[in-house]
Amino acid sequence: MSVKHLRLYMNNPTADGVDGTEISSEDDTLPLSVKLNATIAESKAIKVAVRCDSGYLVDGDTSIYFEGTNSSKWKVAADDSYADAATALSMAQWANTLTLANVAATNKIFWVRASSTQGENPLNDRTVKLVAEGLVAAVN
């Protein structure tokens, strides 16, 4: 990640909580991953959270986006208290970039969507990075 003290979490994090499994390790040992059927056009949504370490917050907005060779297969969306991934997949407004306000020491939920196209070759693609970017400051 490009900013220290700003971290990403998966495995059903709760809004305003401090749970989830960190996916922002520097060595990529805990990546965000999704399995798609490469024989059909398929999309899946994953619930993700961003939060700062205790004692820090983002001064201003936090930008969430993807970068890398196949980043066009990934999208982000704000959370609207979706009940589950299927609801988020069908109801969310998917975009290339998401701007979140008020990121601090508790989970701020958003969704990511991964998509495949029909007939693409199966691939374990580790070239795409989920980026959370903001100016992190100590809480006064």
- State pLDDT tens for residues 83-112: 999 999 999 999 999 999 999 999 999 999
Q: What tokens appear for 70 in the block? A: 């196949």
Q: Which residues, other chains included, contact 121 with Cβ-Cβ below 8 Å and sequence gap of 6+?
A: 38
Confidence of residue 125 (pLDDT cuts 50, 70, 90): confident
- State pLDDT tens for residues 3-43: 479 999 999 999 999 999 999 766 666 788 888 887 889 99
Q: Which residue has the tokens 């499994």?
A: 21
Amino acid at 8: L
Residue 112: Cβ-neighbour burial (10 angstroms; 0-12, 13-18, 19+)? buried
- The string of DSSP letters for 105-133 reads SS-EEEEEEEEE-TTPPP------EEEEE
10 closest CA partner among 31, 40, 28: 31
In the chain, which ranges are continuous DSSP H helix?
Answer: 85-91
